[in-house]
Amino acid sequence: MATRILIVGGGLAGTIIANGLCRQVGDEISKGNISITMLGTSETHMYQPGLLYVPFGKIREKELFRPQRKVLDKKIIFHVDPAKNIDVDSQKVTTESGKVYEYDYLVIATGSRIMPQNIPGMVEGAHWLYDLDGARKMRDALEAFEGGKIVVNVNAPHKCPVAPVEITFMLHDYLSKKGLMDKTEITYTYPIGRVHALEPVAEWAKPAMDQHGIKYETFFNTKEVDPKAKTISSEEGVTLNYDFLVTIPPHNGAEIITNSGLGDGGWVPTNKTKLLREGSENVFVCGDTTNIPISKAGSTAHFEADTIIDNLTSLITEKRWARDYDGKVFCFVETGMNSGTYVWFDYNTPPNPGAPSQMIHWFKLAYNRLYWLSARGLL
């Protein structure tokens, strides 16, 4: 009987794992000794980091999407039938259509979702670019913006940790080019006592904000937004006026995780090196879904996925573990419309970003297309 690998989630993490496994054990799949089934929520795969460019008209929306069936290796059995319940005791996943899938190995890659509704007034009062609809609305509102007070508000937890500073500097460049910065004040809020979680990024971003005349309010954890009065208030007792509010909304994991009793907030307790669900020997967790205290980012999902591919391959074919995940994360950081830098770190190596350059910005633009090679397991 074939070894059944079931992947719940068709985002970047699940897709890299599925395609990567096909490269490792494709012959065994063809012989019928291994099967890979993916349960997704959509026929379409979206390149999420590309949303950053939508409000500024810097990417064609078509570039963000590919048909998921074309991204996946043909050996993968793909169903658009969202999982409704995961039962790790009986090793079964039930879908919304009522089908039941049994597995020998399970990969949970259900990702994270924005929760602006968790903050009173946020849905009515704020713009965001973390989904296509929000990014389009922000683009249209920015086109109509004629100057005033902009607040860029950051909430915890959120994915893509460098996005807040990218959005802020890109906004500054965008409005400068439109000749609106002399009529505009940008204030950036951040939950902890510096302008970014990564200390070296904060050390670079703070003087850059000073240089650009961008104000910042640290220790700002959002309590509520008053869309009528156009104010945003923090748990720490600070209230800011705004004409244009951009938020990085707080995130939760997928609803199926909490509904299946697998983790508070939708985050699955996960061993930080084995990437196994705590208490399970055959349930891997990848990407935003884990509760591992590292960045929720595409690169995290990518490096974790590579580890899981190697370990699943070794476990099935050789009954041994291949290697541990070392906590590696790599993020490009757009520092304006025409410059960028990058930062990487792992569990033992602190981050040390280099000076921004136009070359790195161009490489980031190139990666916006190379992404599809990552998803296919080639890069």
Partner 1 sequence: MSERKTIDARGSFCPGPLMELIAALKLVQIGDEIEILSTDKGTVNDVPEWVAKVGHEMGEITEKGDHWSVVVKKAK
Q: Return residues touching partner 1 (CB under 8 A).
A: 118, 156-157, 161, 191-193, 197-199, 219, 221, 235-237, 250, 264-265, 272, 293-295, 327, 329, 345, 347-348, 350-351
Tokens at 276, concatenated: 């196994």
3-state secondary structure of 187: strand
| Pick 176 or 273: Cβ nearer partner 1 | 273
Min separation Cβ 50 and partner 1, Å = 22
Min separation Cβ 379 and partner 1, Å = 23
Min separation Cβ 191 and partner 1, Å = 5
| Pick 273 or 314: Cβ nearer partner 1 | 273
Min separation Cβ 264 and partner 1, Å = 5
Min separation Cβ 108 and partner 1, Å = 19
CA–centroid distance for 82 within its chain? 19
| Pick 3 or 295: Cβ nearer partner 1 | 295
Cα torsion angle, 249, 251, 255, 259, sign: negative
| Pick 156 or 365: Cβ nearer partner 1 | 156
Min separation Cβ 347 and partner 1, Å = 4
Q: How far is the C-alpha of 376 from the C-alpha of 308, rounded, in Å?
A: 15
Min separation Cβ 315 and partner 1, Å = 25
| Pick 219 or 372: Cβ nearer partner 1 | 219
| Pick 150 or 333: Cβ nearer partner 1 | 333
List residues bridging with 185 in a β-sheet. 149
3-state secondary structure of 93: strand
| Pick 191 or 340: Cβ nearer partner 1 | 191
Contacts of 1 (CB under 8 A, 6+ apart): none
Q: How far is the C-alpha of 139 from the C-alpha of 151, rounded, in Å?
A: 16
Tokens at 319, concatenated: 């009954």
Min separation Cβ 159 and partner 1, Å = 10
Min separation Cβ 262 and partner 1, Å = 14
Q: Do the strands 222-226 and 231-234 form a parallel or antiparallel pair, or are they unpaired?
A: antiparallel
Tokens at 40, concatenated: 């997704």
**In sequence order, what DSSP letters do the residues of 216-256 get, joined into one string?**
EE-S--EEEEETTTTEEEETTS-EEE-SEEEEE--EEE-HH
| Pick 136 or 223: Cβ nearer partner 1 | 223
Residue 157, preceding peptide bond in cis (omega within 30° of 0): yes
List residues bridging with 66 in a β-sheet. 45
Q: How far is the C-alpha of 352 from the C-alpha of 255, rounded, in Å?
A: 36
Q: How far is the C-alpha of 40 from the C-alpha of 81, rounded, in Å?
A: 6
Among 261, 340, 343, 337, CA closest to 295: 343
| Pick 180 or 238: Cβ nearer partner 1 | 238
CA–centroid distance for 318 within its chain? 33
Answer whether 132's CB lies under 8 Å from 46's CB.
Answer: yes
